[in-house]
Amino acid sequence: MAQAISYIRFSSALQRGGSSTDRQSRMISEWLKAHPDVALSPISASDEGRSGFSGAHLQHGLGQILAAIEDGKIAAGDFILIEAMDRLGRLAPLEMLSLLQRIVGAGVNVVTLEDSQTYSKESLNEKIGDLFILVGKISQAHEYSKNLSRRMKAAYESKRQKAKDGETIKRYTPYWLTSDGKIIEEWKEGIERVVEYYLKGWGPRNIVIELVSKNLIPENTTTQSVRKWLRSKALVGSWDNNGDEIENVVDAVIDRETFYRVQTEIKRREVDHSPRSTFKLSGLIKCKECGSSYYITKKMVKGYPQHSAKCLGREKKGADFCSNNRQLPYVVLLYALDSYLPEQLSQLAYDSSLDEELQKIDGLKSERAAIDTQLNTVLDMLLSMPEQSNLKERFEVLSKVKDEIENKIATLEIALVDRSASVSLDNILTTANDDLDSILSDDIATREALKKTNWRITAFENKFSVNVGAAGVINCEIVKRRAKFNALYVTFTIPGYEIFNESTDEFDKVDTETWWLAFDKNGLIASADSETELENQFEKEEWK
């Protein structure tokens, strides 16, 4: 039984939501009903949004059909169903004839459904008139696409030139702008909050939940939309223009320094593969054996929710990848965080206040990296088209902009050296305390701030160590579960260290210190210098 292979193609992604696919599918169904002796083949393919003029479809759907012909999966006597010959492609006439020869030369028929024509090796050899008509259709389709491409390119170049000349142009814009590039006041606060919350450490999901609930961004906003907005040059008033940026095309929402701080933060998060979560410790617990992040689980025990942390590497890849299968109680880990949080974040806030120029430098470095990308693109084009004077001008402009950025970076870096001598320590401490209050008031901001420090929990089985930065390393072990008191016994140990004594001008030795803690499902319930003292606390009636 002969088989029919349907092939659907359209070049514009906009047609996906229109009638193009439905129309072509309906025509194929009608042809199959009129030919009950032919079965629809599973080899059928489509090329949605792929150009028949550039030949992109030959690497995808149509390419798969051609490969099936060469492999014999589509045999002589089978039919390829297309709406019209231009669906097979809009290549140059000789290329189209060669493509058609590959199909009909193998004995496979091509059916154009719009005019009910069947092209085969025999018909094209015997009916010369049909061949001439076919060549005319192929040539017409190619010329149409070529002229359309020229007109679209000319219109696009005209729009680009108007934008460069400072004229207002109509173009697709994000939700907070009109098509003329003017800010819609109703949405201005929302996009400002998107940027603000992202820089505070919020993820796109939490941003969407928070701002949609307050009607500050559109109700249909997705996390992908937020990510797209954060990368959009429209935030600073520019048209990205495929890497050839044109400034002051639309109203700006934020300044360039803030924009490139956002880009730096995006890149930082791209290399942080922590499991997504709203927990304060998410991404801060690492497996000592495999290096994977821990993830937080919840289960109900006697009607109460209890949270634990488990190695994500072990969970996803199994025991061969990581032998660490122990769960750690979240309340114990959270206590380790909260015990040293003020010290660690105070140092962070102090550093941030003292070295606020570093943020400006990071933003400028991100901007310089973006300029480098544009320079490489223009240089590649210049090498292939050296006669294009506009490319040379563009290269010179970008080089000048890069030099200006380099000078700004150098100036700020020099200023950093002298900053500590020119800034009042009292002012620094005041600003640091304000920053610390802001961070501690928001769990998400706290977590993201800690990720920028060396504060981490490294865990394996029932032991974990906490690198708390300036406070050193704390070694912890879950020693036992005391069913009698419904409690966990945990030891916290600070290894011995030396500290400089200014009065003697020598280092004093500090011995290792261990203390015992007891936790229930809600957190810390008792502490002592030894297990015996801890037991005595539980045995005493007054403890209850």
Q: Taking the CB of residue 204, how many other CB atoms lie within 10 A of it? A: 21
Q: Provide the terminal-to-terminal Cα distance of the chain, rounded to the nearest Å.
A: 85
Q: DSSP strand E in 244-330: where?
A: 285-287, 294-301, 304-311, 328-329
Return phi, psi of residue 311, to 5°: -70, 120
Q: Does residue 363 sit in helix, strand or coil?
A: helix
Residue 109 and residue 326: Cα distance in Å, rounded?
A: 64
CA 25 vs CA 46, 65, 83, 395, 534: distances in Å? 11, 17, 9, 49, 77
CB 84 within 8 A of CB 118: no
Q: Quick one: pLDDT at residue 272?
A: 46
**pTM value > 0.85:** no
CB 266 within 8 A of CB 372: no
Structure tokens at 448: 């993201």
User: Is the C-alpha dihedral spanning 444, 446, 447, 452 positive or negative?
Assistant: positive
How many residues belong to the chain?
544
Which run of H or of E encompasses 247? none
Nearest to 226 by CA among 209, 204, 210, 206: 204
Q: Quick one: pLDDT at residue 194?
A: 94
Structure tokens at 379: 């240089």
Which run of H or of E encompasses 287? strand 285-287
Q: Quick one: pLDDT at residue 286?
A: 92
Residues 29-36: contacts with CB under 8 Å, at least 24 apart: 30/113, 31/4, 31/81, 31/111, 31/113, 32/4, 35/4
Q: Quick one: pLDDT at residue 394?
A: 80
Q: Does residue 490 sit in helix, strand or coil?
A: strand
- Tell which phi-psi region holds residue 486, choosing left (phi > 0), alpha (psi between -120 and 50) or beta: left
Calculate helix-pair angle for 185-199, 256-270, nearest 10 degrees: 50
Q: Quick one: pLDDT at residue 476?
A: 93
Mean pLDDT by 10 residues, the chain (544 residues): 85 46 81 91 79 68 88 92 81 81 90 86 78 72 57 51 56 77 90 92 89 91 89 83 67 89 82 56 88 86 79 90 92 85 61 60 81 80 70 82 84 62 46 54 72 80 81 85 86 80 76 89 88 85 48
Q: Quick one: pLDDT at residue 345?
A: 64
Q: Quick one: pLDDT at residue 17?
A: 42
User: Is the C-alpha dihedral spanning 349, 353, 358, 363 positive or negative?
Assistant: positive
β-strand partners of 3: 39
Q: Taking the CB of residue 227, how many other CB atoms lie within 10 A of it? A: 13
Nearest to 450 by CA among 347, 328, 327: 347
CB 482 within 8 A of CB 489: yes
Residue 453 and residue 469: Cα distance in Å, rounded?
A: 8
Return phi, psi of residue 205, to 5°: -65, -50
Residue 173 and residue 178: Cα distance in Å, rounded?
A: 7
Q: Quick one: pLDDT at residue 99?
A: 85
Residue 336 and residue 320: Cα distance in Å, rounded?
A: 30
Cβ burial, residue 303 (10 Å; 0-12/13-18/19+): exposed
Alpha helices (H) along 232-356: 256-270, 312-317, 330-354
Structure tokens at 87: 């669906």
